[in-house]
Amino acid sequence: MQTWTEYIFYRKTGRRPQPGEVVEVTPDLVGFHDLTGYHVLEVLEEMGVEVFDRERVVVAFDHLSPPPTQRAAEIMTYIRRHVKALGLPHFYDVGGGILHQIILEKYAKPEQVIFAADSHTNTAGALGAFAQGMGATDIAATVKLGRTWLVMPTPYAVRVEGRFPKGVGGKDVALHLLSQFGAEGFNGYSVEVFVKEPEAFPMDDRATVANMSTEMGADALIFVPDRVTSAYLEERGTPYSPPEIQLGGHRDNYTVELDRLEPLVAAPHSVDNVKTVTEVEGVEVDQVFIGSCTNGRLSDMEIAAKILKRGRVRARCIAIPASYDVFRKALKLGYIDVLTEAGCVVTYGTCGPCLGGHFGLAGPGETVLTTSNRNFRGRVGHPEAKVYLANPATAAATALAGKITDPRLVM
């Protein structure tokens, strides 16, 4: 028996590394964006500009896109020049989407090893890849040399049983795990998620949990491939059949019972300050943000539209589909019309307010509820603002009422 993480690294190295062992690997994908790309290319210039495999590099403008400052525009110009000179074919300029969503939609596959210069690279774990964020210097060296090193993490099994109740989704699984293990509880671990009823846990929700494993301190979080993985890849045009191997041998495990979950909220100023929505219900909010690499996917826009079609928002509401593809699908399905008619400001393909970059920062003393991944002091704008994290259903219900609201009351 072997764990999924061991299987991936056995395929990459020809042996089964032990936890704590330093492993050198050649990645299947390497990525960076506008916020880290300047530093990646700056270091690459110092080492002598060279790319180990142009087909394995993905670049996207997402954090400050379109550029809200002159400096942001200068950085994009610098990166564009290098992308063109290096002949990198997988480049997504302004409007293309958030790097992690693009990798999920177009490039990531099970059994791959993926590194990118951003902490939420873990998102690709939804598809069964070992995906990890690294610093810009490490990514620059990887782009040049085609290899890097990491410390082999300890595999940990999370088993998921049951089905989502009304108003509950992947965000609540992530917040539940944070409530149980804390913000650094999985530091040094590769969390492997086994879903008992695959169809009960859609890919969009898997991506949300994988994304927020960063907040759990995990080296990676990987959904072990199953029927849902194969169906997603089939639709993308890259058929995949999970290997017939016996998985197991985990030292520790934990079971999430979906049926027992309810909508959860992370209150200021920590991701593991988790409460049920009823515990914070009634808190007045100034702004709601629905989007980011955590919850900017099609099903997130769908649930928001279903709730917001009931009326107009009473709090400022910003909705940002995570990519051009998600935006176009949401537009064709009518979700964008519903959101705009409800009074939401809608754009696409940018991180925007998630990092306090642009497109809707919080002012002093304001309260924000967001579907993104962090609620640290100053994360979405002013350090005196209060930030709550929640799922898209809770966010939409909150925007509609102008105060934190249990989405089950309006669904």
Residues sharing a CB contact under 8 Å with residue 61, sequence separation 6 or more, in sequence order? 33, 34, 76, 79, 92, 93, 94, 96
Cα–Cα distance for residue pair 386/195, rounded to 1 Å: 35
Q: What percent of the chain is modeled with pLDDT above 70?
A: 100
Tokens describing residue 121 = 């690279």
Stretch (H or E) spanning 233: helix 227-236
- State residue 59's pLDDT score: 98
Are 164 and 202 a contacting pair, CB within 8 Å?
Answer: no
State the average pLDDT over residues 242-257: 91
What predicted TM-score, i.e. pTM, was given to this entire model? 0.97
Q: What does each C-alpha distance from 194 to 153, 244, 372 come to in angstroms?
A: 18, 15, 24
Q: What is the CATH number of domain 151-262?
A: 3.30.499.10
Predicted confidence (pLDDT) per residue in 306-316, tens digit: 999 999 999 99
Domains 151-262 and 265-406 share a fold: yes
Predicted confidence (pLDDT) per residue in 312-367, tens digit: 999 999 999 999 999 999 999 999 999 999 999 999 999 999 999 999 999 999 99
Over the Cα atoms of the chain, what is R_g? 20
User: Dihedral of the CA atoms 148, 153, 157, 163 (nearest 10)?
Assistant: -50
Eight-class DSSP state of 316: E
Domain ranges of the chain: 23-149, 151-262, 265-406
Q: What is the CATH number of domain 265-406?
A: 3.30.499.10
Fold classification of 23-149 (topology level): Aconitase; domain 3 (3.30.499)
Q: How confident is the model at residue 50 (pLDDT cuts 50, 70, 90)?
A: confident
SS3 6: helix
State the average pLDDT over residues 146-151: 97
